[in-house]
Amino acid sequence: MQKIGVFVCWCGTNIAATVDVEAVSETLSHEPGVVFSTNYQYMCSQAGQDKITEAIRDYQLDGVVICSCSPRMHEATFRKTVSKAGLNPYMLEIANIREQCSWIHKDKATATEKAIILGRAAIAKVHLNAPLTAGESPVVKRALVIGGGIAGIQTALDIADAGFPVDIVETKPTVGGKMTQIDKTFPTLDCAACILTPKMVDVAQNENIRIFSYSEVEAVKGFVGNFSVTIRRKARYVKEDVCTGCGLCTEKCPQKKVPNEFNLGLDNRHAVYIPFAQAVPKVATIDANYCTMLKTGKCGICSKVCTAGAIDYKQKDQLIDVQYGAIVVATGFNPINPEKFDEFAYSQSPDVVTSLEFERLMNAAGPTAGTLLRPSDGKHPKTLVFIQCVGSRDISCKGKPYCSKICCMYTAKHAMLCREKYPDTEVYVFYIDVRTPGKNFDEFYRRAVEEYGVHYIKGMVGKVEPVDGKLKVQAADLLNNEQIHIDADMVVLAVAIEPDKSARRLATMLTASIDTNDFFTEAHPKLRPVESPTAGIYLSGVCQGPKDIPETVAQAGAAASKVIGLLNKDHLTCNPCVAESDELMCNGCSACEKVCAYGAITYMDKEFRGPNRTKLIRRVAHVNPAVCQGCGACTVACPSGAMDLKGFSTRQIMAEVDAICK
Amino acid sequence: MQVTNEEFKPTIVAFCCNWCSYAGADLSGTNRLSYPANVKIIRVPCSCRVNPMFILRAFQRGADGVILCGCHPGDCHYTTGNYYARRRMTLLFSMLDYLGIERKRTRVEWVSAAEGAKFAATMNDFVATVTKLGENKRLEDLRCKN
């Protein structure tokens, strides 16, 4: 029988006003195993804690029950107290007689009776408590950033600055992400490339950063502090360490009719290509879908012109395994395909473009060298119509229910830039609401309306119809309550943004959670916005929800600081309340493995001693205590009763049930 | 709702998940809401920790009603635990019904950490329902009586 001490707290009058604390400590002192029982005004105060420490020493207590406030409040405090007195911190149970008793009930007799029962249950449980030791697991001091856009770049730079090695895995041949395709940024109108490309160079030159471009994450194993990640380095048929990025191959390649994804297919590129002049790493990539040599074995011009000898047609995909302590998801977004919204005639006319395509048409490095020309006939558009909320805030099955957040601002920017460069154009913007929460955002929008004379019309466009080289736009002006018809030369759709397609697959690999729109979920929407609920996985940028560049950079820095905090530790303390399998009872049925959300249970063949000095090899479950989160799903799934949860064992909970139902 | 039957005070065991419902129960205390003292809460790490055995044990030892509270579907701290709990309890409650433990004596309820008012309302309603049903004699093991 364990020697148990009971400590009843008054909590001033919070408990003592409705619970007769004297009666509680007196009644509980007669419970089996209780050798000491007392009450005190404030158990959590230093004097109260000293009482506990003294009693543990004087009475050689094996277990402590504290009847006080919720364990969510002071369990950690009291664990430290008993630990200081030399008792295992897990030999403590708390009976919640404040939040779940004295504050609920008005009648003193009833509340006292309930407090006694709750105390009894805690005593019954503590009898069965076993000393637990929190394990430690080492931390691999290297971080992985998945995605090399501005979010990934900023996170990697911040982690590297703190002195930890970082790897960036980017599926495209170059880092930079969507920001490389943007012309100017709101609300300051500074050029995106001018602020991004120096950061890309920083990433390339930083000794702590490795870039795995044209690569994908293939598999993730392990847990916080100790992830093992398989990365597929896709064959680019060019030796990355040999290529000088001179671009000669890209000029001589005879296959010139490949849609250029950097310009969203508005022009063509060669089969061997460098996405754009400032690409990092500046290395050519051969597009195997179009390369004549790779498809038919006849060509080989690029290898002939390459003076460095970097072309290698026999290159294969490579799989590499790397260990990481922390993983940051920065997979970003894509604009949705507006073809579903056929009322806007996106698939019928090349002059109906998305905002990102419009961005390329305005960009000096774009297909038109920065002159705004219609894609259909290369003429100057005179009338432009911008349609906002295409697919955003749309609860029909075609669209997205959320606000994409950035469209109001970039549409104002586009409209303003159009009027500035070409004062002879008429610019109309159709909106449901204009949302401009951000520093200098509303001022920016007002400038577009007041100084640049952009026509903002509240209402949605019903139909866009291509007729004789014009686009007939039919819309409703809600404020004037009239129908409007505009003959436009170009229509620009501010389409919704959605998380990158890789999010769902990646979330499964990382056991991180995503919401119904495939955005990664944060551990707490207010207080832990850059952490995923899965330990060791952090979120940066739009993969977590729509945001603009400054917000993305801020979140990237926040994620980096969380990673640095983790990598700074040599060891992580694990939760000791984890599942444990009794190998003698386990029959290796795999029921527990199937319900485990964390992959914490593995099977191994273990040797047992059989009768008459024989040996038996049996398959038994093994719980990795560093991975197990202690939910207990496996304990119920186990048909043989081999699986149990430390700290909340079957016997302990049964004892509580018995004490309550007595 | 007030408990009308003064004579009979049912014994109710509530299993509450540490992350949502237990915190919800704390919140109803913090907000000084009230529910009958017959409800005794047992803290579990997740609703999926509740073994059907615990519920059978409660009825065997003389409980008159058992309620299991967990996080709302989709909000489980352990991602899928409450779904397991829901399935297990659906089966168990249907079997208990067959054994003569009325459906109304058992309940699964989703209460978040923010729903203190819901916790109190749920408990008031549950206690009233069980009180109306009267004492549970079906599974009670008289050998366990002292």
- Give one DSSP letter per residue of A591-615, joined into a string: HHHHH-TT--EEEEEEEEE-GGG-E
Q: Are residues A268 and A165 in the same domain?
A: no
**C-beta separation of A171 from A502 below 8 A:** yes
Q: Please indicate, yes or no, if residue A655 is contained in any of the structural domains.
A: no
Confidence of residue A221 (pLDDT cuts 50, 70, 90): confident
- The CATH number for A122's domain is 3.40.50
Chain A interface test: which of B11, B48, B59 (most A C-beta within 10 Å): B48
Over range A426-453, report the average pLDDT.
96
Q: Are residues A196 and A270 in the same domain?
A: no
Q: Please indicate, yes or no, if residue A661 is contained in any of the structural domains.
A: no
Q: Please indicate, yes or no, if residue A652 is contained in any of the structural domains.
A: no
pLDDT value at A524 more than 80: no
* Nearest CB neighbour to B84, from listed A101, A113, A595: A595
Q: Please indicate, yes or no, if residue A428 is contained in any of the structural domains.
A: yes
Q: Distance from CA of residue A284 to its chain's centroid?
A: 31
The architecture CATH gives domain B12-135: 3-Layer(aba) Sandwich (3.40)
CA-based nearest distance B32→chain A, Å: 6
What is the torsional sign of CA A402, A336, A530, A155? negative
The chain B residue lying nearest A72, using CA atoms, is: B23
Confidence of residue A397 (pLDDT cuts 50, 70, 90): confident
Which tokens in the block code for residue A640? 């043989």
pLDDT at B6: 60
Helical (H) or strand (E) element with A636 = helix A633-637
Over range A552-560, report the average pLDDT.
97
**What is the widest separation between alpha-carbon atoms in chain B?**
43
Give chain A's end-to-end CA distance (angstroms, integer): 20
* Nearest CB neighbour to B57, from listed A104, A648, A654: A654
The model's pLDDT over B63-119, given as tens digits with 9 standing for 90+, comes to 999 999 999 887 788 888 999 999 999 999 999 999 999 999 999 999 988 889 999
| Cα–Cα dist A433/A403, whole Å | 11
Identify the CA nearest to A414 among candidates A405, A398, A427: A427
Q: Do B58 and A657 touch (CB under 8 A)?
A: yes
The chain A residue lying nearest B65, using CA atoms, is: A661
| Cα–Cα dist A623/A642, whole Å | 12
Which of residues 110 through 139 in chain A touch B, CB cutoff 8 A? 110-111, 113-114, 117-118, 121
Which of residues 582 through 611 in chain A touch B, CB cutoff 8 A? 595, 597
pLDDT at B146: 60
pLDDT at A222: 80
Over range A72-92, report the average pLDDT.
93
Instruction: Among A218-227, A442-451, A584-593, name the one with the lowest average pLDDT.
Output: A218-227
Q: Are residues A189 and A280 in the same domain?
A: no
Q: Do B63 and A636 touch (CB under 8 A)?
A: no
Confidence of residue A318 (pLDDT cuts 50, 70, 90): very high
Q: Distance from CA of residue A655 to its chain's centroid?
A: 41
Given CB atoms, is A524 within the 8 Å cutoff of chain B? no
Residues of B engaging A, defined by a Cβ cutoff of 8 Å: 11, 13, 18, 22-23, 25-30, 32-35, 37, 40-46, 48-54, 57-58, 61-63, 77-81, 84, 88, 120, 146
Over range A419-427, report the average pLDDT.
95
CA-based nearest distance A630→chain B, Å: 7
Q: Are residues A533 and A632 in the same domain?
A: no
Q: Is A222 helix (H, G, I), strand (E, B) or coil?
A: strand
- The CATH number for A354's domain is 3.50.50.60
Instruction: Among A154-158, A257-261, A539-543, B139-143, name the one with the lowest average pLDDT.
Output: B139-143
Over range A439-456, report the average pLDDT.
96
Q: Are residues A507 and A556 in the same domain?
A: yes
Note the residue count of chain B: 146
Q: Do A100 and B53 touch (CB under 8 A)?
A: no
Q: Do A597 and B53 touch (CB under 8 A)?
A: no
Q: Do B44 and A648 touch (CB under 8 A)?
A: yes
Which tokens in the block code for residue A197? 């490309």
Over range A557-580, report the average pLDDT.
94
Residues of B in contact with A637 (CB under 8 A): 84
Confidence of residue A532 (pLDDT cuts 50, 70, 90): confident
**C-beta separation of A234 from A173 below 8 A:** no
Q: Distance from CA of residue A152 to its chain's centroid?
A: 12
Q: Are residues A447 and A589 in the same domain?
A: no
Which tokens in the block code for residue A388? 């906002």
Q: How many domains does chain A have?
A: 5
Last residue of a domain, one of A462, A497, A532: A497
Q: Are residues A403 and A447 in the same domain?
A: yes
Q: Are residues A240 and A225 in the same domain?
A: no
Last residue of a domain, one of A573, A599, A615: A573
Q: What is the mean pLDDT of chain B?
A: 90
Instruction: Give the strands of the sheet with B12-17, arranged side by side.
Output: B39-44, B12-17, B65-70, B106-110
**C-beta separation of A174 from A222 below 8 A:** no
Over range A481-493, report the average pLDDT.
96
Domain ranges of chain B: 12-135
Confidence of residue A575 (pLDDT cuts 50, 70, 90): confident
- The CATH number for A266's domain is 3.30.70
CA-based angle B67:B72:B77, to the nearest 5?
100
- 């005190």: which residue's tokens? A40
pLDDT at B1: 47
pLDDT at A528: 86
pLDDT value at B53 more than 60: yes
DSSP states of A556-581: HHHHHHHHHHHHT-SEEEPPS--EEE
| Cα–Cα dist A294/A561, whole Å | 45
pLDDT at B4: 52
Q: Are residues A206 and A355 in the same domain?
A: no
pLDDT at A658: 95
Over range B38-57, report the average pLDDT.
96
Last residue of a domain, one of A102, A127, A152: A127
Which tokens in the block code for residue A609? 């001693």
Q: Please indicate, yes or no, if residue A659 is contained in any of the structural domains.
A: no
Q: Are residues A607 and A468 in the same domain?
A: no
Q: How many CA atoms lie within 13 A of A318 on its CB side?
A: 15
Q: Please indicate, yes or no, if residue A132 is contained in any of the structural domains.
A: no
Q: Are residues A243 and A220 in the same domain?
A: no
pLDDT value at B11 more than 70: yes
Q: What is the mean pLDDT of chain A?
A: 94
pLDDT at A18: 95
Chain A interface test: which of B17, B76, B79 (most A C-beta within 10 Å): B79
**C-beta separation of A127 from A4 below 8 A:** yes
- Which domain does A388 fall in, by range? 336-497
The model's pLDDT over A261-286, given as tens digits with 9 standing for 90+, comes to 999 999 999 999 999 999 999 999 99
Q: Are residues A430 and A544 in the same domain?
A: no
